Amino acid sequence: MRLGQLEQFITICWGIWKNRNDLRMGGKGRAGRTVWRTAMHLVEEFRAANDGKTEHQAKPELPISWQPPSQGYYKVNLDGAVFSKRNQAGAGVIIRDGAGEVIAALSKKWKCPLGAIEAEAKALEAGVEFAKDVGIREAEFESDSLLVCNALQGLGSPPSSVVNVLAGVMNQMSYFRQWKVSHTKRQGNVPAHLLAQHAKYVEDYIAWLEECPSLIEHACAHDRNVT
């Protein structure tokens, strides 16, 4: 007997037993055809539920990685960091071309306490200013802060604590010939995250031009290999 037939047989037997038990307890019995139809319906429901569960579990999760910018753009990844024990915050910025080559990088520290969202907004501000200083005119700014990205895209209202910062960022965007904002998860923003964490150890800021800082070499190589 095949597995499907066994499921049907067991369910029909259970239906017959339940029907007889209902009669013994004074309940109203059902016709044999009704018992059979109910059993088949239960089997189909069971199969559908388990097939869907198996399919969902087997579906592979797509890896999250850095993606090159749109044609003609430079990708400016940025991230903020909070050093609460020091009452400080930092930012990491990395600018890459379509091939993933590092054009410039920055670790910047603020010697004042900031919250997480404030640090992300200030990191975006630092990224825009840094891109301008480097001479980038077509930029795609990418952050792992969905709130900040949505605010710049007009998809949500930012907290009052960062309204002025983001308003200033929008004013600075007029410098660029073309610009856009995209969101990624932390896995797609690793070099910027490492640069932000490194800001803890700099006095004010440190910048690298046309070179890849040693602390992010491995992460950048990984990004190039998976794109």
**pLDDT tens sequence for the chain (227 residues):** 554 566 666 667 766 766 676 666 666 666 776 766 676 666 566 666 565 544 445 555 667 899 999 999 999 999 999 999 999 999 999 999 999 999 999 999 999 999 999 999 999 999 999 999 999 999 999 999 999 999 999 898 888 999 999 999 999 999 999 999 999 999 999 999 999 999 999 999 999 999 999 999 999 999 998 87
Mapped onto helix, strand or coil, the DSSP state of residue 106 is strand
Are the C-beta atoms of residues 207 and 104 closer than 8 Å to each other? yes
Asked if 101 and 88 touch (Cβ cutoff 8 Å), the reply is no
Q: Where are the domains of the chain?
A: 3-58, 74-226
The string of pLDDT tens digits covering residues 136-163 is 999 999 999 999 999 999 898 888 999 9
pTM of the entire predicted model: 0.73
* Cβ–Cβ < 8 Å for 208, 96: no
Q: Which CATH superfamily is domain 74-226 in?
A: Ribonuclease H-like superfamily/Ribonuclease H (3.30.420.10)
| Element holding 24 (H helix, E strand) | helix 3-24
Interior/surface letters 119-155, b for 16+ CB within 10 angstroms, e for the rest: bbbbbbbbbbbbbeebebebbbbbbbbebbbebbeee
Q: Kindly write down the DSSP assignment for every residue of 26-79, as one continuous string.
A: T-----HHHHHHHHHHHHHHHHHHHHHHHHHHHSPPPPP---PPSTT-EEEEEE
Alpha-carbon distance of 40 to 211, in angstroms, equals 68
Per-residue pLDDT at 175: 95
